[in-house]
């Protein structure tokens, strides 16, 4: 790929990538073909009142309702993604975390961008959205590389929706084998922006991956550093059974709630509130194929498909942490 105005990262197989912050606009011209990733979804659940006292969820009552309507119902979202709103409760979840149209938000590891499709238009006019992602110049065999390229392609195709998004590239070492497949990933550092600049940092179902890569503390500390005093760190994560060993449950995609709370507190956060809005008591969490056995992945294909569809998507904790000092 020819040199552009963006500083290149160099080889990724054997040495760490350099840290940098870039905008979609700088990279859009350097990529001509990207592999899109299918967004994942979350668990059907019945909204419930937060169980733990603490800082109240901030809802922008003055924001015109059509701002949320455009973000949720706009033509930039596929019918398939919109259909998942009933399971993921995006408006209720984002408002629980205090997101408003004027918020400065950082989304960690956005994956296929299901939430990004809502956050980008919501924050386009008054707010700011930064995505913490993998390098677009990493190995094509790594899904993180392809996901970042897909975001860049969206920026080029729909600047009116994604034009104001910025990227924060995670400093990682990615090793591949002779067959080109990824052997290991080591997260070295995450620079999410100027210290004390963000209102809200969000992460959806990524904590088990960081735990397996021994990067959970690093990711949570990066979230703490970029937040303003009083800022919110919102965590949604597949929830393991109480008392589960995280070293085992993380392999199946689930994390004990106690482990997540301990990691956030170790980073300096206080637990403000928890919500059961994304809970699913039907999830038994004991599948041979882990959480990916359930929809939307349905990794077993047609085997017991109706059974897993009846269970629905994973049981998820929804935790709002607050940075002290407001």
Q: What is the pLDDT of residue 247?
A: 96
- The residues pairing with 172 across neighbouring beta strands, listed in sequence order, are 187
Please say if the pLDDT value at position 205 is more than 60: yes
Q: Mean pLDDT for the chain?
A: 84
Domain range 20-322, CATH class: alpha beta
Please say if the pLDDT value at position 154 is more than 70: yes
Residue 87's pLDDT band (cuts 50, 70, 90): confident
By percentage, how much of the chain surpasses pLDDT 90?
Answer: 73
Please say if the pLDDT value at position 13 is more than 70: no
What is the mean predicted confidence (pLDDT) over 18-38? Answer: 41
Q: Can you tell me the distance from the alpha carbon of 237 to that of 264, in angstroms, rounded to the nearest whole number? A: 13
Q: Can you tell me the distance from the alpha carbon of 221 to that of 321, in angstroms, rounded to the nearest whole number? A: 12
- The residues pairing with 187 across neighbouring beta strands, listed in sequence order, are 172
What is the mean predicted confidence (pLDDT) over 75-97? Answer: 91
Please say if the pLDDT value at position 59 is more than 50: no
Q: Can you tell me the distance from the alpha carbon of 198 to that of 224, in angstroms, rounded to the nearest whole number? A: 10
Of the listed ranges 28-42, 97-111, 244-258, the one predicted with least confidence: 28-42
What is the mean predicted confidence (pLDDT) over 262-277? Answer: 98
Q: Can you tell me the distance from the alpha carbon of 270 to that of 163, in angstroms, rounded to the nearest whole number? A: 34
Q: What is the pLDDT of residue 65?
A: 59
DSSP per position, 256-293: -HHHHHHHHHHHT-EEEEEE-TT--TT-----TTGGGG
Residue 53's pLDDT band (cuts 50, 70, 90): very low
- What letter would DSSP give residue 221? H
Please say if the pLDDT value at position 38 is more than 90: no
List phi, psi (to 5°) of 75: -70, -10
What is the mean predicted confidence (pLDDT) over 208-234? Answer: 97
List phi, psi (to 5°) of 300: -90, 5
* Tens digits of residue pLDDT in 122-139: 999 999 999 999 999 999
Of the listed ranges 4-8, 138-142, 305-309, the one predicted with least confidence: 4-8
Show me where the domains of the chain are located. 20-322
Please say if the pLDDT value at position 56 is more than 50: no
List phi, psi (to 5°) of 80: -60, -45
Q: Tell me the two tokens of residue 50.
A: 């937060």
Could you give the 3-state DSSP secondary structure of residue 143? helix
Q: Which of 289, 313, 317, 315 is nearest to 303 (CA)?
A: 289
Please report, to the nearest 10 degrees, the dihedral formed by the alpha carbons of residues 83, 84, 90, 92 taken in order. 80
What is the mean predicted confidence (pLDDT) over 73-77? Answer: 92
- The residues pairing with 166 across neighbouring beta strands, listed in sequence order, are 23, 130
* Tens digits of residue pLDDT in 172-190: 999 999 998 999 999 999 9
Angle at 246 between CA 245 and CA 250, to 5 degrees: 130
Of the listed ranges 8-12, 133-137, 301-305, the one predicted with least confidence: 8-12
Q: What is the pLDDT of residue 278?
A: 96
Please say if the pLDDT value at position 219 is more than 70: yes
């Amino acid at each position: 790929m020819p040199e552009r105005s963006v500083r290149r990262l160099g080889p990724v197989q054997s040495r760490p990538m350099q840290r940098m912050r870039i905008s979609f606009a700088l990279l859009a011209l350097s990529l001509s073909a990207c592999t899109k990733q299918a967004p994942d979804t979350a668990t059907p659940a019945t909204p419930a009142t937060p169980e733990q006292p603490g800082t109240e969820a901030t809802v922008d009552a003055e924001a015109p309702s059509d701002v949320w309507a455009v973000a949720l119902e706009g033509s930039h979202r596929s019918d398939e993604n919109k259909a998942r709103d009933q399971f993921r409760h995006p408006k209720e979840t984002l408002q629980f975390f205090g997101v408003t149209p004027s918020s400065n938000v950082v989304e960690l590891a956005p994956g296929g961008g299901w939430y990004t499709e809502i956050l980008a238009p919501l924050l386009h006019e008054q707010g700011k959205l930064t995505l913490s992602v993998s390098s677009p110049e990493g190995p094509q065999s790594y899904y993180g590389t392809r996901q970042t390229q897909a975001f860049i392609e969206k920026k080029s195709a729909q600047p009116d929706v994604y034009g104001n998004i910025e990227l924060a590239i995670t400093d990682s070492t990615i090793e591949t084998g002779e067959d080109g497949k990824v052997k290991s990933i080591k997260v070295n550092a995450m620079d999410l922006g100027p210290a004390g600049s963000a209102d809200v940092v969000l992460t959806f179902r990524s904590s088990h991956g960081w735990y397996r890569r021994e990067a959970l503390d690093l990711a949570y500390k990066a979230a703490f550093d970029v937040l303003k005093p009083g800022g919110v760190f919102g965590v949604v994560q597949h929830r393991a059974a109480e008392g589960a060993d995280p070293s085992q449950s993380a392999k199946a995609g689930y994390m004990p709630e106690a482990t997540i709370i301990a990691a956030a507190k170790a980073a300096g956060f206080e637990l403000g509130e928890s919500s059961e809005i994304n809970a699913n008591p039907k999830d038994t969490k004991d599948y041979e194929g882990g959480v990916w056995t359930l929809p939307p992945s349905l990794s077993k294909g047609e085997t017991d498909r109706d059974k897993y569809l009846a269970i629905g998507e994973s049981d998820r904790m929804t935790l709002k942490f607050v940075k002290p000092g407001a």
